[in-house]
Structure 1
Amino acid sequence: MSEAARATDWLLKPATSLAPLDENRARQELAEIASVAREGGLTRLTKFLAGKGEGQDFLAAVFDLSPFLRDTARRRPGILDGLFDQTVEARLKAIGAAIDRAYLAEAVSESGLMMDLRQWKAEAHFLIALADLAGEAETVLTVRRLSDLADACTRAAVDFLLRDAHGQGKLKLPDLDNPSKQSGWILLGMGKLGAHELNFSSDIDLVVFFDPEAPAVVDPLDATELFSRLTRRLVRILQDRTEHGYAFRTDLRLRPDPGSTPLAIPVEAALRYYEARGQNWERAAMIKARPVAGDLAAGAAFLKELQPYIWRKYMDYAAIADVHSIKRQIHAHKGHGEIAVKGHNVKLGRGGIREIEFFVQTQQLIAGGRFPELRGRETVPMLGQLAARSWITADARDALARQYWFLRRVEHAVQMVADEQTHTLPEDDEGLERIARMLGFADGAAFAMAFRASLQQVERHYAALFETAPELSTGIGNLVFTGDVDDPDTLQTLHGLGFQRPSDICRVIRGWHFGRYRVTQSAEARERLTELTPALLRSFGQTRRADEALMRFDEFLAGLPAGIQLFSLLQSNPALLKLLATIMGAAPRLAAIITRRPHVFDGLLDPALLTELPDRAYLSARLSAFVEGDRLYEDVLDRLRIFASEQKFLIGVRLLAGSIDPARAGRAFSDLADLTIEAALQAVTAEFAARHGTIAGGVVSLLGMGKLGSRELTAGSDVDLILLYDHAPDAEESDGDKPLAPSHYYTRMTQRLIAAVSAPTAEGVLYELDLRLRPSGNKGPVATHIDAFKKYQRQEAWTWEHMALARARAIAGDASLCGEVEAEVAAVLGQPRDAAKVMAEASDMRAMIEKEKPSRDLWDIKLIPGGLIDLEFIAQVAVITGQVEAGPRAPAVPIARAPAVPIARAPAVQIARATGTAEILSRLAPRFAAAGIRQELGDAYALYLALTQMTRLCLTGAFERDDVPPGLSDLLLAVTDLPDFGVLEAHLKETSQKVRKDFDLLLRAGRP
């Protein structure tokens, strides 16, 4: 082919065809990029994009399916034009070479290097994605390319910093052309970076050490400070967001004891730590460790010294059980219900990527000490080695390798949509269809079928592995509970299973067998329980607070009317038994509910429990069925309490089991409150009207405030409400037997609603109501006329009241009045304000809260400096000062409608205004908060939400750091995807410090 001909031939040849979501839109997007190319003088690209063929069809589909790739092409069409001259592989090599030379330019500055790295990384990122979607690159090549790119960027930044330190006299490098050589600065890539398996939008995990005796070190005593400072600059170079984006988000939390160690640790100190205090999760993490930058020879020498620590010749299975416990987000599921596709976490969910990785790692830890060939970093090659040595079957090897690469493709597709570090499939039909088409499936249904089959295959092999693991399959020893004297061997068995008071446990179990509870009075029930007892003890023993777990289970049994069905079910369903043990061992709040109200356990028997998402439609349908028919007023209120109690419990169980994430749990708890409070309002309205009649034109609206308004309720939240009403202007009193004036009527009706929701009955309390956010607070009437509300908000309300209004949401009542209230709230929030004054008042208010109500400790997440209040204040100030960008119109959220008492109403209201803190933070205007700050605030909120949802779900009181149920510690690690509680605390501390810094920057800038 001639050079001239070659120059017009586009060199990326799609091996797969993709279909856009919208053909017309896709062609329009391609035309827009062609227009940008024309303006930039890219003649051959313009001509190519205007033509027809497989390449153009492919690009049109890609740009319709991925807004991130489309926007990159618009900004830099020259990347596409370059594919006339070089293949993707050749261009990636050229980019890698350019990055490797970046530090050599004499005039290069830190800001210049940051710009260059970001531009090269953006081009390479785009090309890697394009080649992946085109089928030009298999996923194994894609992850290698991403890892090589991260390596190159890290090396370039490290070499630049070393030369800079040399120029300042801080180091004396032996070879300026090879700055890292003998520098003593060791950077190990961990996790997916270490294994050359990065995902598309991955963070990079680094652990940094240094050798103070290295030839380049001038002053060993200053080395810790020097290398920590260089590491801090390295992170800034790689991850700070600028107008050119970012290179790689960088995580240093896997270093030894991150809460109390510097960013760079001396080699000898690190070796002493691992030898004396290193934990099993750290051994597992070190399997993938690889020197990626800095002094590679020193890094290799360091890892060689660590070999005996990582690879023990004689591996005890208790250590494997410990790793299994610490990484408890991986469960040996046995199909407890179908797997939901929408909203499924491809990485951490059932049958996900982490299960395959952990499947391999545990086998490596067991056998790698004796067989060096099992010490590799990469997942799929190690599956091959494990099969070659007969540790796993060829079937397991082939199936897990195939599903690993399939799930990695799914993960990449999810991340290529918007370049977000997410592993969760969309929850809406269009989002799922988008992912399906990016992967070449005909539609969402075909993808869902393949995806579910993949997850089921993974979890089947994973469960089989741990069923046959020696620590789970050996006999557990004597278990004799006859007579009235403890059997010594049984005491020893119980102690070995994890019980600290084996004699007390014997006494409890003897009580079961003596038929002292109704549930064990029949001979058949006792027989079934006897058969179940070994599995029960093993499951409770694994909760790491075994005695408490079993005692709670004993209380549960004491309240049950019968047990044959339950014992049979637990015996045939180990996943349900494991879930019950987790509740008893890690979640005192849920255990108390299940003990006081054993009927809520019935909900766990539904095989679809973990599949069906508890969204508004799901909850509304079940509430309709539960309260249908003509019922007395008191019966309606009791049934609402029963329903809410059971559904709170089941939402909590889903969160505990990992089938929904903390954000989804918050929405579900809020939807449940909307629906049940609406049903209570309808019942109260009808009951009150029967006695006092109705007011002409009378209507009410409930305005949800606080966490109800923002749809962020937790299991233990109370509910903030404002009741607003309106009526005909000439209405003087109600038309019933006992007429009341309008203001008196609605005040009394509100008091009746408070009692209906908050008064304890035999079935407990529906919700604790808080009406203090109404106009004039506790001094004002409990019900407020809409006109008085409008006047107050516009003329008298304080700044903090408008901040609170930023989370307000009409949740129930007359639809037309709800619409009017929504419009008024939006108008009040949109009023022009002195932004500096608002920020000053909010800052002063935060300082006052901090002084009058200081946080107890780091775990007082709401009150700590840089905690939830700081984030909520930032979001609320942004709303009322107009610093939030408009987003896509929210989906219709109908005003809650329960069936208890039918009330005629207008069409449902749509809530388009964002009230959720997370959404507001993600939409902060760039002029108010730069992209990097938005990312930090969003990540912080996600962390706080995860910790708050889980602790409120599991605990009835405050989180006590020194008395955390070990099972809860594991759950917190699972929901945050962190390996160790010390790492979690360090991350929490670091996050709060970042948030406080951002709070000061955004709300206190220029103030002392």
Structure 2
Amino acid sequence: MTEPKTTRLVDVAADVIRPLNQVELKSVLSMLKDLGRNEPVIANLLASEGPLKNFVAAALTLSPYLRDMANLSPSLLADAIEQPIEPMLEALVASARNAWKGEPGGPSATEAQVMSRLRIAKRKVAFLTALADLARIFDARDTTRWLSAIADASVAAAIDHLLVAGQEAGKLTLQDLSEPSRGSGLIVLGMGKLGARELNYSSDVDLVVFFEPEAGILTVPDDATETYGRMMRRLVRILQERTADGYVFRTDLRLRPDPGSTPLAVPVEAALVYYEGRGQNWERAAYIKARPIAGDLAAGEQFQRELVPFVFRKYLDYAAIADIHSIKRQIHVHKGHGAIAVKGHNVKLGRGGIREIEFFAQTQQLIAGGRMPELRVRPTEAALRALAVANWIDDETRDELIACYWFLRDIEHRIQMVHDEQTHLLPESEAELRRIAFMSGFADTKGFAASLENVLKTVERRYAGLFEHEEKLSTATGNLVFTGQKDDPDTLKTLKSLGFERPEDISRVIRTWHYGRYRATQSVEARERLTELIPELLKAFGESRRADEALLRFDDFLSGLPAGIQLFSLLGNNPALLDLIVNIMSSAPRLAEIIARRPHVFDGMLDPGLMVELPTRDYLAKRLASFLNGSRFYEEILDRLRIFAAEQRFLIGIRLLTGSIGGAQAAHAFTDLAGLVIGEALKAVVDEMEATHGRIEGGKVALAGMGKLGSFELTAGSDVDLILLYEHADDAGESDGSKPLDPVRYFTRMTQRLIAALSAPTAEGVLYEVDMRLRPSGNKGPVATRLRAFEKYQNEEAWTWEHMALTRGRLICGDEDLVGQTKAIIESVLARPRDQARIAADVVEMRHLIEKEKPPRDIWDFKLIPGGLIDIEFIAQYLALIARARGVGGCGSGQSTMDALRQLGGALLDRNDLETCLTALRFYTDLSQVVRLCVDGPFDPTNAPAGLVDLVCRAGDCPDIKTLEAEVRRLSKATRKVFQNVVKG
């Protein structure tokens, strides 16, 4: 502390400030006249002429708050006029510190008494300090020192009171009731400006509270969190609740470790573990100024000693420098963006403001403080002087920044003195700006603005020079501050301008990332990379429609990632990958959910060849063989198949999403993938059956893919239709293994195992949902079908709709000989001459039945709408069945609907009708593939993500959703007409 001053207001210099205007002056003089009736000192003041009278009157015109205080307590104004300021302040601070004590020999003070005493002392200190400050008896150093002193005393007294109350309630056992805090293990640190004894005139106080369980004062140690939590809630009430006496200080406990998930008072050991493993950059900076102010001061000092390695790192390396850069990116605005305007300028957070000076010092303290203990000082001025002594900055920089710092602190105090508000914004209006100028001793706003601009530009220049090679401090659109727990107003404005509708929610989510609550953000390095990435990330998400939803999906994705540093580094260096992530999150909820639930599928996106290589069958087969290499055990093989299928389905979807493949290519790729994976699953099942039950003589199996699996038309969410066919020697008995089975049970068990292998949910998910209803006799028949039974059924019992389904049947894996036999049987069945009229009648009846039992949900149900996919598929299947009757060579089974139409339609359809069907099929395929990729369930443009609506419009080659709907209606109407003309029952 500086030497105490005994100067009185009577020593004020002439014309140090001037009144706001004559109207206000007359009002104040009238008020003082009324007060003088009961206060002779005030009456004598009014009767005299001189600087003191002019000063008091001017001060009360400039500060409505001080005027109200004088009106409320005229004796306080009288004391200020008559007595030395310092002794009064010392007495008030002492009274606040002892506010917890009762009368000698009596009980301790009640909570109401403590609250009243603290409020009265704080109010008087604020009033006296403000007058001394405006009179220039105090400079800003004195003002901040006395405001910090009353805050220290108030918090310490409140803590002592609460400890005594805890003992009286039987919760605590204190070492010494005359010094409740000594040896209590309860640590209260003052943070920020309070810790540095640089408190604002109307500042909040930032506190962090820890406790040492080993102190042994808790009656029931297990109740520590509850006991101290209740105590801290009472502390906040004591300090900040407004009563008839006002309030003491608004109190913030949110600088504690991870405040969203920790109690109000944190055990010391838990805090140290947090800071060691998850402590953030801004917390390191905050702890430079931290100071034990209440509770067990010795324990507080010990805690701070243990925290030194976290705050001040031992080595100056590139990671530390990146650390500092990331703090800088979090804290401030882009240099050179916009012009400095005095009106409305934020003297704390704005360009060239107080925060830049503080950060200028703290940055270099963090870099070098690990090796140079002399830099570990709390006050900003002391830090700047220490940096100069250590030759980190030159003397000119030191002197400029110290002068600028105290000039800006003066302005800050005057802004807050007006109405006792915690604000740092200069007024927007000329009249109110004149008030601040006069309070600061300027004759007019022009001179004030010139001086302020000069200071702001000086600070900005010095601050910018600190990291002159760092190009991006934030976004060019404004602040992006995500430190602490409070929302930065300018950051909320920036988020709004970027396109986010709920900036408070987005700010909260990003703070969650910084707290390291996800595995992906727990390491310091990962958080550094993510911090550097955030401006670009927010810009990219902001440009997507419904940006909030997209970013929240990205948050879900992050929450499931096992690690983040590689991803964040790649995104930072790969704008295309960042755009792809945003695309997924903004348009494809289903894909976003997949990568949130199973982040490993994202690994394939990191392959630089992803968009270059097409997912052909050969490509997928090579990848699968490599992925399965070395897998020997049944469950291991199945798990690896699940992982591979999930990843490749996802990557095919990514190609579709980005437009590198179209709907038909995606359908073929999804189908090739399914065929390969199901083939490997069947091999694994056969091997497992043989290992457990042995072999059946002459036994062999083949697997037929039906429906979309057979016709190369699977989507991202399709199930698979399968028929398992088998054969064995006619005289085959039981299998030859240790657990023999007869042939029917053997192949039934094999089929059941295959279904379980494909569709049973496991930790790695499900391969495919399996549908076997297309087997002979449907659900009533056995799950495995002997080939001769299949042939007999198809020739003698099958319905027309089953032969329609057979046109899409395709053998996908199994014994080569059995596969060949089955193909021959299917081709023979399909090549049989048929009654065209009967087939047409059956097809029409089948279509009517579907329309009755499964009507379309809406126009976007591309499969079921009249003239939709089913109509086109039925046309192709009908043509395949009646081709021989019309004298046209049939086509083989297992073709896509498109290929079947092309092969048969030229001869059996009018050219225009064929073109209508092919155009509609391409259109529906492109739309369906995108919709099934992006959402589970129906597509509803009114509720779908905006990005998905854009994607669907792009897939349909339409500019907007209304045009797309009109195109769906046009094509469906035309296709239904073709169906009715072609399939004549």
| TM-score (structure 2 length as normaliser) | 0.51
CA contact (8 A) 2:833 2:885 kept: no
CA contact (8 A) 1:878 1:884 kept: no
The answer as to 2:573 corresponding to 1:572 is yes
Partner of 2:654: 653
Partner of 1:976: 956
Partner of 2:751: 750
CA shift for structure 1 position 887:
12
**How far apart in 1 are the matches of 2:584 and 2:884?**
43
Cα deviation, 1:888-933, whole Å, max 9, x if unaligned, reads 99xxxxxxxxxxxxxxxxxxxxx96552101112223445311111
Partner of 1:632: 633
CA contact (8 A) 2:831 2:884 kept: no
Partner of 2:767: 766
CA contact (8 A) 2:710 2:894 kept: no
The structure showing larger relative contact order (alpha-carbon pairs under 8 Å, at least 6 residues apart) is 1
**How far apart in 1 are the matches of 2:721 and 2:694?**
28
The answer as to 2:677 corresponding to 1:676 is yes
1:704 is matched by which residue type in structure 2? G
**How far apart in 1 are the matches of 2:858 and 2:881?**
31
Match 1:915 to one of 895, 898, 901: 895
**How far apart in 2 are the matches of 1:802 and 1:531?**
61
CA shift for structure 1 position 791:
0.3
Partner of 1:516: 517
Cα deviation, 1:362-421, whole Å, max 9, x if unaligned, reads xxxxxxxxxxxxxxxxxxxxxxxxxxxxxxxxxxxxxxxxxxxxxxxxxxxxxxxxxxxx
CA contact (8 A) 1:481 1:487 kept: yes
2:617 is matched by which residue type in structure 1? R
Partner of 1:877: 878
Cα deviation, 1:183-213, whole Å, max 9, x if unaligned, reads xxxxxxxxxxxxxxxxxxxxxxxxxxxxxxx
**How far apart in 2 are the matches of 1:713 and 1:803?**
18
The structure-2 alpha-carbon separation of the partners of 1:989 and 1:547, relative to structure 1 and needing over 3 Å to count, comes to: same
Partner of 1:960: 940
1:524 is matched by which residue type in structure 2? E
Between 1:739-748 and 1:786-795, the stretch displaced more is: 739-748
Partner of 2:666: 665
1:569 is matched by which residue type in structure 2? L
The answer as to 2:792 corresponding to 1:784 is no
1:958 is matched by which residue type in structure 2? P
**How far apart in 1 are the matches of 2:809 and 2:723?**
9
**How far apart in 2 are the matches of 1:539 and 1:994?**
41
**How far apart in 1 are the matches of 2:842 and 2:581?**
49
The structure-2 alpha-carbon separation of the partners of 1:885 and 1:948, relative to structure 1 and needing over 3 Å to count, comes to: farther
CA contact (8 A) 1:706 1:807 kept: yes
CA contact (8 A) 2:587 2:948 kept: yes
CA contact (8 A) 2:696 2:734 kept: yes
The structure-2 alpha-carbon separation of the partners of 1:657 and 1:789, relative to structure 1 and needing over 3 Å to count, comes to: same
1:863-942 counterparts in 2 under 5 A? 863-882=864-883, 913=893, 915-942=895-922
**How far apart in 2 are the matches of 1:662 and 1:886?**
33
**How far apart in 1 are the matches of 2:524 and 2:885?**
67
CA shift for structure 1 position 848:
1.3
CA shift for structure 1 position 671:
0.6
CA contact (8 A) 1:883 1:924 kept: no
**How far apart in 2 are the matches of 1:716 and 1:735?**
40
Partner of 2:342: none
CA contact (8 A) 1:539 1:581 kept: yes
Partner of 1:997: 977
1:533 is matched by which residue type in structure 2? I
**How far apart in 2 are the matches of 1:623 and 1:675?**
8
What runs of 5+ residues in structure 1 fail to find an aligned partner? 1-472, 890-910
Partner of 1:543: 544
CA contact (8 A) 1:886 1:923 kept: no
Cα deviation, 1:345-371, whole Å, max 9, x if unaligned, reads xxxxxxxxxxxxxxxxxxxxxxxxxxx
**How far apart in 2 are the matches of 1:475 and 1:837?**
72
Query: SS at 1:526's partner residue?
Result: helix
CA contact (8 A) 1:684 1:749 kept: yes
The structure-2 alpha-carbon separation of the partners of 1:508 and 1:884, relative to structure 1 and needing over 3 Å to count, comes to: farther
Cα deviation, 1:735-778, whole Å, max 9, x if unaligned, reads 11222111111011111111111111111111000000000000
CA contact (8 A) 1:885 1:923 kept: no
2:533 is matched by which residue type in structure 1? L
Cα deviation, 1:627-649, whole Å, max 9, x if unaligned, reads 11252111111111001000000
Cα deviation, 1:850-895, whole Å, max 9, x if unaligned, reads 1111111000111111111101110101101117999999xxxxxx
1:951 is matched by which residue type in structure 2? V
CA shift for structure 1 position 844:
1.1
CA contact (8 A) 2:807 2:892 kept: no
Cα deviation, 1:75-129, whole Å, max 9, x if unaligned, reads xxxxxxxxxxxxxxxxxxxxxxxxxxxxxxxxxxxxxxxxxxxxxxxxxxxxxxx
**How far apart in 2 are the matches of 1:834 and 1:562?**
64
**How far apart in 1 are the matches of 2:810 and 2:780?**
23
Query: SS at 2:942's partner residue?
Result: helix
Partner of 1:528: 529
CA contact (8 A) 1:706 1:804 kept: yes
What runs of 5+ residues in structure 2 fail to find an aligned partner? 1-473
CA shift for structure 1 position 823:
1.1
- Whichever of the two has the greater Rg, that structure is 2
Partner of 1:945: 925
- Identity over aligned pairs, percent: 60
Partner of 2:496: 495
The answer as to 2:850 corresponding to 1:849 is yes
1:706 is matched by which residue type in structure 2? G
The structure-2 alpha-carbon separation of the partners of 1:635 and 1:927, relative to structure 1 and needing over 3 Å to count, comes to: closer
CA shift for structure 1 position 562:
2.0
The structure-2 alpha-carbon separation of the partners of 1:778 and 1:561, relative to structure 1 and needing over 3 Å to count, comes to: same
The structure-2 alpha-carbon separation of the partners of 1:840 and 1:912, relative to structure 1 and needing over 3 Å to count, comes to: closer
Partner of 1:486: 487
Query: SS at 1:923's partner residue?
Result: helix
CA shift for structure 1 position 678:
0.7
The answer as to 2:859 corresponding to 1:858 is yes
Cα deviation, 1:275-330, whole Å, max 9, x if unaligned, reads xxxxxxxxxxxxxxxxxxxxxxxxxxxxxxxxxxxxxxxxxxxxxxxxxxxxxxxx
**How far apart in 1 are the matches of 2:547 and 2:602?**
21
Between 1:487-496 and 1:689-698, the stretch displaced more is: 487-496
Query: SS at 1:979's partner residue?
Result: coil
CA shift for structure 1 position 717:
0.1
1:137-148 counterparts in 2 under 5 A? none
**How far apart in 2 are the matches of 1:661 and 1:629?**
35
Partner of 1:641: 642
Partner of 1:607: 608
1:836 is matched by which residue type in structure 2? A
Give the 4+ runs in structure 1 shifted more than 3 A.
883-889, 911-914
CA contact (8 A) 2:663 2:929 kept: yes
Query: SS at 2:821's partner residue?
Result: helix
1:606 is matched by which residue type in structure 2? D
1:847 is matched by which residue type in structure 2? H
CA contact (8 A) 1:719 1:769 kept: yes
**How far apart in 1 are the matches of 2:543 and 2:765?**
33
**How far apart in 1 are the matches of 2:725 and 2:519?**
50
1:933 is matched by which residue type in structure 2? D
Query: SS at 2:701's partner residue?
Result: strand
Query: SS at 2:811's partner residue?
Result: strand
The structure-2 alpha-carbon separation of the partners of 1:925 and 1:713, relative to structure 1 and needing over 3 Å to count, comes to: closer
CA contact (8 A) 2:862 2:924 kept: yes
CA shift for structure 1 position 559:
1.6
1:418-437 counterparts in 2 under 5 A? none
The structure-2 alpha-carbon separation of the partners of 1:487 and 1:714, relative to structure 1 and needing over 3 Å to count, comes to: same
2:862 is matched by which residue type in structure 1? I
The structure-2 alpha-carbon separation of the partners of 1:926 and 1:573, relative to structure 1 and needing over 3 Å to count, comes to: closer
CA shift for structure 1 position 686:
0.6
1:684-763 counterparts in 2 under 5 A? 684-763=685-764
CA contact (8 A) 1:883 1:928 kept: no
CA shift for structure 1 position 734:
1.1
The structure-2 alpha-carbon separation of the partners of 1:671 and 1:496, relative to structure 1 and needing over 3 Å to count, comes to: same
1:611 is matched by which residue type in structure 2? V
